[in-house]
Chain A
Amino acid sequence: MRTGILVRNEWIKTRRRTAFWVASLVFAGLMSLIFGGMFSQGLRKPERALTLPAAWGEVMGGPGVLAAFFASIVLILLVSSEFTWRTSRQNVIDGLSKEEFFGAKLFLLPGVGLFFFTVMVLVAGGFAFAGTVAKGVLGSTGALVRPADLALMGGSIIGLLGWASLAFLLAIAIRSSGSAIGAFFLYFIVEQILGQLAGALGPTAGELFRFAPNAVFKALWEPARYGAVPLKAGQAPAIATEWYLVAGLTYITLFVLTAFLLYRRRDL
Chain B
Amino acid sequence: MHVIETRGLTKRYGDVLAVDDISFSVEQGQVFGFLGPNGCGKTTTIGMLLGIITPTAGEVRLLGLTGRDGLHAARQKIGATLETPNFYPYLSGWDNLRIVANLKGVRHKIIEETLELVGLLARRKDKFQGYSLGMKQRLAIAATLLGDPQLVILDEPANGLDPDGMREIRELIVALGARGKTVFVSSHLLNEVERTCTHVAILRKGTIVRQASVHDLLKTATIVELRGDDPSRMRAAAEGYPKAARVSSRDDAVLVELQDDDAASLNRWLAGQGVFVAYLAPQRLSLEEAFIDLTRDDVATTTAGVA
Contact = CB atoms under 8 A, between A and B. Distances in A.
Interface of A: 5, 8-9, 12-13, 16-18, 85-87, 89-97, 267-268
Nearest to B52: A268
The 4 residue pairs across chains A and B that have the minimum distance between CB atoms: A90-B86, A268-B52, A86-B86, A95-B76
A215 to B, nearest CB: 38
Contacts of A85: 86-89
B14 to A, nearest CB: 13
B99 A13 contact: yes
B86 A9 contact: no
B47 A267 contact: yes
Given A9-B99, A16-B95, A93 B80 contact: yes
Given A8-B102, A9-B99, A12-B95, A94 B90 contact: no
A89 B90 contact: no
A18 B87 CA distance: 16
Contact of B99 (A12, A93, A97): A12
B143 interface: yes
A17 B103 CA distance: 20
B188 interface: no
A93 B87 contact: no
A93 B98 contact: no
9 contacts: A9-B103, A87-B86, A87-B88, A90-B86, A91-B99, A92-B52, A93-B82, A95-B103, A268-B47
A188 to B, nearest CB: 30
A12 B86 contact: no
Contacts of A16: 88, 90-91, 95
Contacts of A97: 72
Contacts of B98: 12
A12 B104 CA distance: 16
Contacts of B95: 12, 16
